[in-house]
Structure 1
Amino acid sequence: MAAEGYEEMSGNGELEESSAMEAFEVPPPPPPTEMADMLEENGSPAAVAPEAPEAPVEPGPASFSMPLAAEDDEGELPVDFERLWKAAHDDPQDFTTWTDLLQYCEQESHITASRRSLVAFLARYPLCYGYWKKFADLERRAGYNDKAEEVCIQGLQAIPLSVDLWIHYINLLLGTLDMNLSDSPVRIRRVFEDAVVASGLDFHSDRLWDLYIEWEKEQGNLRHATAIMDRILKVPTQLYNTHYDKFKEHLSAHEPKEMLSPEEYEELRACCRQSQKAERAEQAQEEEEERPPGEEEPATPEGTDSEELMQKIREQVLVRRDKVYLDNEGEVRKRWNFEDAIKRPYFHVKALDRLQLRAWHSYLDWEIAQLNKDTKDPSPDSEEAATEGAEVTAQPQEGSGDAAVATDDNRVRILFERCLIACALYEELWTRYAQYLEAHSVEEARAVYRRACEVHLTYKPNIHMQWATFEERHGDLSEARRVLEALEKSLPGFAVVRLRRAGLERRAGQLDQSEALLRDAVAESKEKPSLHAFYSIKLARLLLKLGRDPSRARGVLQEALEISPDNDKLHMNLLELEVSGDPWASAGAVQECVTRALAAPLAPHTKILFSQRGLQFAEDYSNSIQSVLSVYEEHQKLLRELGGTKRGAENGDEDSEKLSKSEDGSADAAQVSTNMPHVPITTPPPPVGGADMSSQADYGSYSSWYQQPQYGSYGYQNTWNYNQGYYPPS
């Protein structure tokens, strides 16, 4: 979106704060033809926009470079250049270090240093249109007009919604081209057309349209100027009313025949002459009655148009434009409050406040609702369409370039592109745009993900993982793998990315690859016990549940326990593995797990839980009462040592009666339960409270995916009263 004012460089060459960061994104229209032609002329075909119009080349380290000519070598770089260069590259997300580097190079007036810094900076922050202008001015002052044009072309590939950059590029051409050559005006006109197609629908694009109209007038092409005015009268812009005023001035200052297309002029002339003849016939009849006998009617010169006829033609021209103007005024009125709520339409690294983000979302909601409404009720006679704002579309005119007049879908796309200038650092807006485009074109949605992940949000993981999910959903597994691998390289050690990679391979049927990824993660995280335990649990579950290999799963957990003997989750998962096996064969292994947990440096309540789980397993599956009683006695001993008041509940005195009351609703039920020792209480009480919740933080914000909030969720209920009345109190 264009700046609202006429921001320019300050006197010392620095950008004013209000416009230094203003920039624009790639809109839906295809890359301008002028850009491709210029790049071919300048011998840089590799930089031409790609074949798919919806995925223009973004300036990156590989796609944006200015070759250093031999004559540009100014010897050694400035003294502090290397220090500032290193600081910027050590922390490329620190915008201040980059601006310090650029300001230093500008002060030193060293073209090689400035060029190198600007190339690196714009590869990371391509939305800063003011620096593209600085770069072009640098090349032009050095006498390299071709390079200055290349810089403008590269910038416009990155931000073709930038009205200011288009005007800068046009002024550059006007100042360097020989206008005496026949092809120069043709080329300028082509650039103007590219500009209005790319950014002419912007709400603040008025200056570009005015410049185009004035240039056509200077060339003496009044009909072209009129055609451009007709186009802008259909576009909702901030200064829509001034365009109509200028059209009226244009109409009154020139003969209709000179400014209207031949077809429209002849149509209006015939209509007005017919009307004039009818009026004159009536007038002649009145005059005939008053003319003296024998006097003839004065002859009218053939082939000449009176001033009266010209005035009638002008009136009819305005009648036709009045309806277009009023319809456009309605469109502007509907958007005015949304536009007024947008306070920072340009790019800046500073965070936007929530009100600004809400304003963009509200605007998008409204524009999409307009599209959906018009799709359901496309009738132009619909009262709702008339009041809610169906888009004004242009009638095709020869040479009018009516691609600059938006359909409803184009309106939505243009607004998304404007939004992604100010909100380029917010994943939610990129995701929303990709989801909108996916319903229309998978390739367009893919291009949005690519722009977001490879240029603007290189260090934000969520959008990359969404891109990988998008590619997997559409069957491109190799691209999904590439996205996740690249993300893991930029964010090493990020657990959820490795899990996403393992999950991708598992869903693709590559179980060996999934296992290998988790094994590598286990091996690489030995220096971080909590992360090592996390990966070990994931690997063990994969081996047990999908690999059907409990032996290997057991080995993984046992090795992890050697590194982290105090990790209760490892103990719990190992116990889960043993309990899920053959109860006759795993009795010893279960008790071994319990013994290991009781010997580990775990919290007292956790040890009680493991002991209770061992007792429950013995009660359910043991072959002899002696073994059950042995486990029971060990459990009672542990309760006396660690359980405190829990022992009373276990022994079935006061707490037993309370539990029975709560379950059965009467004290009699508790008495019956006590008098029937051969019938154990089978209704489990709530899970044990006080479980250690802090350990969830060990695995970052994704802990809720893989960790349970309390041990009861693993299926181990607090059944201290399970054996109540079955064994005598100890």
Structure 2
Amino acid sequence: MDLDNSITSLHENTLDYTIWTELLHAAEISTDIQLIRSIYTSFLSYFPLFFGYWKKFAKLDPDRAFEIYQQSVKSVPHSVDAWIFYCDYCVAKRDENHTRLVFQEATKTVGSNFLSHLLWNKYLEWEFSKKKPQNITKIFLQILQQPIQQLRYFWESFTNHASSRPIEELTPDDEDFKKKLSEITDDLMKFQEVMKYHESTLVQTVKKMNEVIPFENNIKRPFFHIKPLDTKEILNWNQYLNFAEAKYEENKNESNEEFVIRIYERCLVPCVLYPNFWKRYAFFFENNNKIDKARGIFSRATESVIQNRPSIFIAFAEFEERQKNFDRVNKIFEGSMKHFKDKAYEIYILKTLFEKRQLKEDEKQEEKILLIYEKAMEECSKNDNSIMVLSISMSQYLSYRATIANENQDFKIEKILINKGRNILNKAFEASPKYKKLWTAIINYEILHGEEQIYQNCQFLYQQIFMDPCPLTQKDQLSIIPLLIDLCLNHSSDIKIVNKLEKLLYRNTLYHVKLGYDQSFELYEGEPTIINKQPIIQIQQK
């Protein structure tokens, strides 16, 4: 493959996964360690959630394997698999004390994950190999508090292990229970009492486990992939989050908050490309007055692989506006305008709406808003769709200002604003008359501001409809003609114009396909009356 061409292509689209896989393949078969490091480091900076590639990178670069595994669990801290890879490496390459610390950190971070049983098993097996039964007891007691898969298996293993361990080692760190236990003199009865205590812990944990099993069983892809997630899984994650948040609302304690956070963090591994989950996570903190945590979620989102989704930047700006941090709002808008050049018009429109909310009656603010629109028009001049959207939005703003001028009886300013809005729409239409939204906007604008000149002002739309070919698609014609008919019925003095539009509508093939009947009809009070009710499908079959 041509590495230079691939790298050039990535500069144009850094999130093109297809090109990245080609580069990664080139790295795998290469002996150039600098090339391997360069490709993998760059790739994982964009796609850190691909935990399997961290393991591949570590194997290809053994001299830096330890640092790579450390970075992997920082990048994907809620991935059980990433922690297992790291622990496996430490078991093989690191000393006992360090390996134990990594296992402890791993179980603390993801030990309550429903699928963490493999990690706990490895931890137990490793401590067994080190002949540390006391540590094994501690691990079992931790496991009994985790609503994880194979909990019953761990309980059975624990009972076997406990039968050969001293009572002191098995006794829980519970002062009331210790006092009660001290009153028992028989060792067997003490053992039974201790095991009964642990079994009661198990019962409570199993209850929690049974609550989450319906959601956990519907998670088929707990890992990240570039491909879209199945709709059923997206729905399941939403329902899981509903359940977690409901528990928190019932009792806003630290444990329930940690549970909500845990589910969100796990959700954001397979659902990282879905902005709504990021927004929902931030809203959870914001709604509970944890503003810094909400801001942290938005910051993470804008720095993650989702950075090519403008909606998350917009949500971030709206969040900062709610906090009255207007300087931050402007910085977010400015940054996103440069970042999303193909969708800059959306950002510009939202920026103007933000400015409108600040000082509605300030004339300088009005000038500022118009300058934003003009700058947007200039920067998006090569994109017809952008110009169309911006023109409609700007005309709506001018219409809004004209309405205020009318209320203030400043009729001269009102007329200037109305004409300016009309000229903007007409200019956009002349450049690209193919957009139905633009036709609709012009008609509605004239109905609102045209007064006695409404029909004359829309005359060019009427003429365009009869052009051959018409700028609109046949389907869009079908929705625009009734608006023109209504316009002409109310504002034209010539009924022939109305009839001409009606005949054009009734000759429209899609009109009859939509009705589902043959074309035989007659006009009655401007509406078609069906005579031949034989379905088109049957006629086609003949």
Task: Give the TM bin, normalised by the shorter chain.
Answer: 0.7 to 0.9
1:105/1:113 contact within 8 Å kept: yes
In structure 1, C-alpha distance between the alignment counterparts of 2:445 and 2:178, rounded to whole Å: 92
Match of 1:247 in 2: 158
2:69/2:86 contact within 8 Å kept: yes
2:59 to 126, 137, 141: 137
2:244/2:259 contact within 8 Å kept: yes
Match of 2:477 in 1: none
In structure 2, C-alpha distance between the alignment counterparts of 1:84 and 1:192, rounded to whole Å: 40
Q: After superposition, where does 1:124-273 map in structure 2 within 5 Å?
A: 124-140=46-62, 144=63, 147-179=64-96, 185=97, 187-217=98-128, 221-257=132-168, 270-273=182-185
* Shift in alpha-carbon separation, 1:644–1:326, aligned structure 2, 3 A: closer
Tell me the alpha carbon deviations over residues 14-64 of structure 1, each in whole angstroms, 9 at most, x when there is no partner. Answer: xxxxxxxxxxxxxxxxxxxxxxxxxxxxxxxxxxxxxxxxxxxxxxxxxxx
In structure 1, C-alpha distance between the alignment counterparts of 2:394 and 2:52, rounded to whole Å: 52
Q: TM-score, normalised by structure 1?
A: 0.57
Pairing 1:110–2:38 present? no
* Shift in alpha-carbon separation, 1:445–1:370, aligned structure 2, 3 A: same
Tell me the alpha carbon deviations over residues 305-345 of structure 1, each in whole angstroms, 9 at most, x when there is no partner. Answer: xxxx3x44432321221211222222223322322222221
Match of 2:362 in 1: none
In structure 2, C-alpha distance between the alignment counterparts of 1:443 and 1:87, rounded to whole Å: 38
Q: After superposition, where does 1:274-285 map in structure 2 within 5 Å?
A: 276=186
Pairing 1:506–2:506 present? no
2:28/2:60 contact within 8 Å kept: no
Identity %: 24
SS at match of 2:113: coil
In structure 1, C-alpha distance between the alignment counterparts of 2:218 and 2:488, rounded to whole Å: 63
Match of 1:444 in 2: 293
State the 1:537 CA deviation: 4.4
State the 1:348 CA deviation: 1.5
Match of 2:238 in 1: 361
In structure 1, C-alpha distance between the alignment counterparts of 2:230 and 2:112, rounded to whole Å: 26
State the 1:472 CA deviation: 1.2
State the 1:562 CA deviation: 5.1
1:125/1:456 contact within 8 Å kept: yes
Gaps of 5+ in 1: 1-78, 180-184, 277-308, 379-405, 581-589, 616-634, 648-688, 695-719, 721-730
Aligned length: 467
In structure 2, C-alpha distance between the alignment counterparts of 1:200 and 1:499, rounded to whole Å: 46
In structure 1, C-alpha distance between the alignment counterparts of 2:178 and 2:487, rounded to whole Å: 97
* Shift in alpha-carbon separation, 1:562–1:250, aligned structure 2, 3 A: closer
In structure 2, C-alpha distance between the alignment counterparts of 1:163 and 1:568, rounded to whole Å: 55
Tell me the alpha carbon deviations over residues 652-677 of structure 1, each in whole angstroms, 9 at most, x when there is no partner. Answer: xxxxxxxxxxxxxxxxxxxxxxxxxx
Match of 1:625 in 2: none
Q: TM-score, normalised by structure 2?
A: 0.74
**Amino acid in the other structure paired with 1:564:** F
In structure 2, C-alpha distance between the alignment counterparts of 1:353 and 1:370, rounded to whole Å: 26
SS at match of 1:423: coil
Match of 2:470 in 1: none
State the 1:346 CA deviation: 1.4
Match of 1:557 in 2: 422
**Amino acid in the other structure paired with 1:517:** I
In structure 2, C-alpha distance between the alignment counterparts of 1:108 and 1:258, rounded to whole Å: 54
Pairing 1:100–2:22 present? yes
**Amino acid in the other structure paired with 1:497:** I
Higher relative contact order (CA 8 A, sep 6+): 1
* Shift in alpha-carbon separation, 1:323–1:524, aligned structure 2, 3 A: closer
Pairing 1:538–2:393 present? yes
State the 1:543 CA deviation: 4.2
2:395/2:424 contact within 8 Å kept: no
Which has more radius of gyration?
1
Tell me the alpha carbon deviations over residues 176-215 of structure 1, each in whole angstroms, 9 at most, x when there is no partner. Answer: 4455xxxxx2x44433332222111101112323333444
**Amino acid in the other structure paired with 1:558:** N
* Shift in alpha-carbon separation, 1:213–1:271, aligned structure 2, 3 A: farther
* Shift in alpha-carbon separation, 1:492–1:220, aligned structure 2, 3 A: same
Match of 2:513 in 1: none
In structure 2, C-alpha distance between the alignment counterparts of 1:607 and 1:259, rounded to whole Å: 84
SS at match of 1:357: helix
SS at match of 1:421: coil
* Shift in alpha-carbon separation, 1:252–1:474, aligned structure 2, 3 A: same
**Amino acid in the other structure paired with 2:317:** A
In structure 1, C-alpha distance between the alignment counterparts of 2:384 and 2:227, rounded to whole Å: 37
2:425/2:442 contact within 8 Å kept: no
State the 1:498 CA deviation: 1.8
State the 1:610 CA deviation: 6.8
Pairing 1:320–2:202 present? no
2:399/2:418 contact within 8 Å kept: yes
In structure 1, C-alpha distance between the alignment counterparts of 2:174 and 2:134, rounded to whole Å: 12
